[in-house]
Chains A and B, each alone.
Chain A
Amino acid sequence: MRKKKPLQKLPFIVLMFFLILFLAGVISGEPSRVLEQSWQICLSCIGIG
């Protein structure tokens, strides 16, 4: 009979940690900051200018 493998908990803990970090970022208004940056062409970032 095939032995049933146990569910690993550590991946879920790590996932939850980053999910909380993500939500904390959303609550503190960081998405608008990211949006502001990503709407601009960063010429020095691509080696021009």
Chain B
Amino acid sequence: MELARKWVQLVIAMLTNGYWGFPVTKTIYQGPLKVVCSPGLNCYSCPAATTYCPLGALQQLMMTLRFNLENAQYFLGWYVLGCIGVVGAFLGRLVCGWACPFGFFQELLHKIPSRKFAVPRPLRYIKFGLLLFFVFLLPLLVVNDFGLGNPWFCKYICPAGTLEAGLPLLWLQPDLRKTVGLLFYNKLAILVFFMGWSVVASRPFCRVACPLGAFYALFTRVRLVKLQLDQEKCTRCEACHHVCPMGVKFNESPDDFECITCLACMDRACKFDAISLTVGGIPLRAGDVRKPVATKIP
């Protein structure tokens, strides 16, 4: 199952970044697919990106909302909210585990041999603050004389944007190098920090700072596809604690908002069929025979 997940991650990363004509054109993809929402964090200023980033589009919506309304343009963002809402209501944070290129990148970094550490649990609430302030409130409320705001998360924090768009564009368009300043170096430092942290800890950006993960986490209890615990079969052996890349203690909190439904607990840890994948509460794999081989992830 883990190998299948890696393949799905790779295929989705290639599909959402499938424009390989950029070394010739020296610019980003400008075709009709850009109307499609990328399920995971994937900067749409990336030269290879074929889809739009839901977080970037949300901020664009918030930062232009006042200007649009004052000019009688009623773009209220229903399309973007509807897109990520449908994905969230259907899959929730399963997207983080299976369809996010930046999550995949962190998992690859974590494979570099080194001493591994846990991510302190209280830090996981930071991402909700980033979602509220950097994606919704600051772009909406801090505006210039024309009523236009800034994409605060993209501009000041997003390491995926630096990796996928900032660095490749500087390579493709040498003229841009003259405009690089403190803002870019600050973002580069954030990228290097999370890359280093990803080597020694599992998915630190997803757990601490990803506003898209925070948005999908809001659907944890109401999403259609989720893991379910059968309390009668669970022996409290805690095998599921040791394999979770997000630090979830599944048998203690089966509705934990950090669960990315990577299926490691169901597939590699639980020997008693206590964990099942469900759609609308109906188990998909009840009664399957599995041979679990537990490997510990700190």
Listed in ascending order, the chain A residues whose CB lies under 8 Å from chain B are 2, 5-8, 10-12, 14-15, 17-26, 28, 30-31, 33-35, 37-39, 41-49
Contacts and interface: CB of A to CB of B under 8 A. Distances in A.
8 contacts: A10-B222, A15-B89, A18-B85, A28-B78, A30-B80, A31-B79, A47-B166, A48-B183
Interface string B5-33: 00000000000000000000001101010
Contacts of B156: 47
A42 to B, nearest CB: 6
B219 A25 contact: no
Interface in B15-53: 27-28, 30, 32, 34-35, 43-45, 52
Contact of B80 (A6, A23, A25, A43): A25
Contacts of A49: 176, 179
Given A5-B281, A11-B280, A47-B184, A22 B155 contact: no
A30 to B, nearest CB: 4
Contacts of A43: 45, 169, 176, 179
A3 to B, nearest CB: 10
Contacts of A41: 27-28, 45, 165, 169
A39 B51 CA distance: 10
For the complex of A and B, 6 pairs with smallest distance between CB atoms: A25-B79, A22-B82, A18-B85, A25-B78, A30-B79, A21-B82
**A contact face: mostly helix, strand, loop, or mixed:** helix
Nearest to B168: A46
Nearest to A39: B30
A2 B273 CA distance: 14
Contacts, number: 150
B82 A24 contact: yes
Given A11-B89, A22-B86, A34-B79, A47 B32 contact: no
A39 to B, nearest CB: 4
A7 B179 contact: no
B224 interface: yes
B282 interface: yes
A17 to B, nearest CB: 7
Given A14-B219, A14-B222, A22-B86, 11 more contacts: A6-B281, A8-B281, A11-B223, A22-B83, A25-B81, A33-B75, A34-B80, A38-B35, A41-B169, A42-B60, A45-B154
Contacts of A21: 78, 81-82, 85
Contacts of A15: 86, 89-90, 224
Interface string B281-296: 1110010000000000
Nearest to A32: B35
A24 B150 CA distance: 26
A8 B228 CA distance: 13
